[in-house]
């Protein structure tokens, strides 16, 4: 059923790379995807699709097939990271402190490829395909929830998305039933003491020393409070405090992240973080105020949708395209879509010869994966609309 889809995607190979590299040169961070969104809008309109704006820079384009049938949505995230790119690639970011270091440029190119493949077949399938360009995946509270609130999922029966993944060999598929990505929470701890001269620490309440003890103490939460059979992560990302080598400051600020898959574990982590930071601070004569922000919920794939994806993958490339895959502790606001409609999120390898991980300033993808990504998205849409209910 999908041989012609693969052939059409292969024909698009050069254009897929051109589209992806165009987005890579002009990266726009969360909620600033104006040029990016305009480029997607113009492309969909050239295909004759009506386009509506959602949640600022977000958009939805609808491809109508024959009357009747179901509606399936395909989603690509659009935002770049606030990161200065490194390296010497010919499509290096032209904008300072912004780069596509996570693969969203490839996601958009794959969505465009799928749209072109499907638009040429609109008289051969019954139903509707919805293409979603979503802003702000990288910046909680994200763009998915506002898109949904504005009606971007109206009438949709199922949704599929994919992530090009550096740690998988190019073309290999990783997917699991149930939780596949974690809840991603953020926290800030402000440690307030009493500063003074570094030569007279006895006259101070040292927030630097207290912050260090809080960091060490909080590493016990996962190892001593969480069931070892339940995944959890608590990591610190920033430490800020002080200005001069011989002055003990009044304040130190810490930030970090908590990653979990289950609400009970998340609640425990949140509770222990607040208790341990507060009590450690009090024991050392400082105040440790915790601000905790719930992030994206766990991304939970629907079992029937995963079975469907695997049938499509087997038909496209055979069972050897699948590889064993474990859930990852990264977060993704695609989770919100799957709370509303059935669907699945898929990892597609794009890592051959690419040493730098996601969110590294030297990150890049193997562009051969773009043909497979476009093939997979288009085939998922056609397979879903053709499948008997």
List pLDDT tens digits, range 335-389.
Answer: 999 999 999 999 999 999 999 999 999 999 999 999 999 999 999 999 999 986 5
132-178: pLDDT as tens digits? 999 999 999 999 999 999 999 999 999 999 999 999 999 999 999 99
Three-state SS for 93? coil
pLDDT digits (tens, 9 = 90+) for 316-338: 999 999 999 999 999 999 999 99
In this predicted structure, what is the pLDDT of residue 320?
A: 97
Question: Among all residues, which ones are annotated catalytic?
Answer: 79, 137
> Residue 58 pLDDT more than 70?
yes
Is the distance from CB of 164 to CB of 365 less than 8 angstroms?
Answer: yes
Question: How many percent of the chain have pLDDT more than 70?
Answer: 99
Please state which CATH class domain 183-296 belongs to: alpha beta
Domain residue ranges in the chain: 3-181+298-386, 183-296
Shared fold status for 3-181+298-386 and 183-296: no
User: Buried (b) or exposed (e) across 303-326, using 16+ Cβ within 10 A?
Assistant: eebbebbbebbeebbeeebbeebe
CA distance 116 to 46: 10
pLDDT of residue 307: 98
pTM (2 decimals)? 0.93
256: pLDDT strictly greater than 70:
yes
In this predicted structure, what is the pLDDT of residue 388?
Answer: 67
Q: In what helix (H) or strand (E) does residue 66 lie, and over which residues does it extend? A: strand 66-77
Pick the CATH number of 3-181+298-386 from 3.40.50.620, 3.40.630.10, 2.60.40.10, 1.10.357.10: 3.40.630.10
């Amino acid at each position: 059923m999908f041989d012609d889809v693969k052939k059409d995607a292969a024909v698009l190979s050069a254009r897929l790379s051109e589209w992806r590299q165009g987005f890579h040169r002009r990266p726009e961070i969360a909620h600033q995807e104006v040029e990016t969104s305009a480029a997607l809008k113009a492309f969909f309109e050239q295909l004759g699709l009506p386009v509506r704006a959602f949640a600022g820079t977000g958009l939805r384009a609808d491809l109508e097939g024959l009357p009747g049938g179901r509606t399936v949505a395909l989603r690509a995230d659009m935002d770049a990271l606030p990161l200065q790119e490194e390296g010497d690639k010919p499509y290096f970011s032209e904008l300072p402190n912004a780069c596509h270091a996570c693969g969203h440029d490839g996601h958009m190119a794959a969505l465009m490829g799928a749209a072109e493949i499907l638009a040429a077949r609109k008289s051969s399938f019954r139903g509707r395909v919805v293409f979603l360009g979503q802003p702000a995946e990288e910046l909680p509270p994200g763009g998915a929830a506002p898109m949904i609130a504005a009606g971007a999922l109206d009438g949709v029966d199922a949704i599929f998305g994919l992530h090009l993944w550096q740690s998988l060999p190019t073309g290999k598929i990783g997917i699991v039933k149930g939780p596949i990505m974690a809840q991603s929470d953020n926290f800030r701890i402000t440690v307030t003491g009493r500063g003074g001269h570094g030569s007279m620490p006895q006259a101070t309440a040292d927030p630097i020393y207290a912050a260090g003890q809080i960091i060490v103490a909080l590493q016990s939460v996962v190892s001593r409070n969480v069931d070892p059979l339940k995944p959890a992560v608590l990591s610190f990302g920033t430490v800020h405090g002080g200005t001069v080598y011989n002055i003990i400051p009044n304040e130190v600020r810490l930030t970090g992240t908590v990653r979990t898959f289950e609400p009970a574990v998340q609640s425990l982590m949140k509770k222990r973080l607040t208790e341990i930071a507060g009590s450690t601070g009090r024991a050392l004569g400082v105040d440790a105020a915790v601000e905790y922000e719930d992030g994206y919920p766990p991304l939970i794939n629907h079992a029937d949708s995963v079975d469907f994806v695997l049938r499509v993958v087997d038909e496209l490339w055979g069972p050897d395209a699948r590889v064993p895959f474990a859930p990852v502790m990264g977060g993704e606001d695609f989770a919100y879509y799957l709370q509303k409609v059935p669907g699945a999120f898929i990892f597609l390898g794009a890592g051959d010869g690419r040493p730098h991980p996601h969110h590294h300033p030297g990150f890049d993808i193997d562009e051969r994966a773009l043909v497979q990504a476009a093939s997979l998205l288009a085939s998922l849409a056609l397979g879903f609309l053709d499948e008997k209910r």
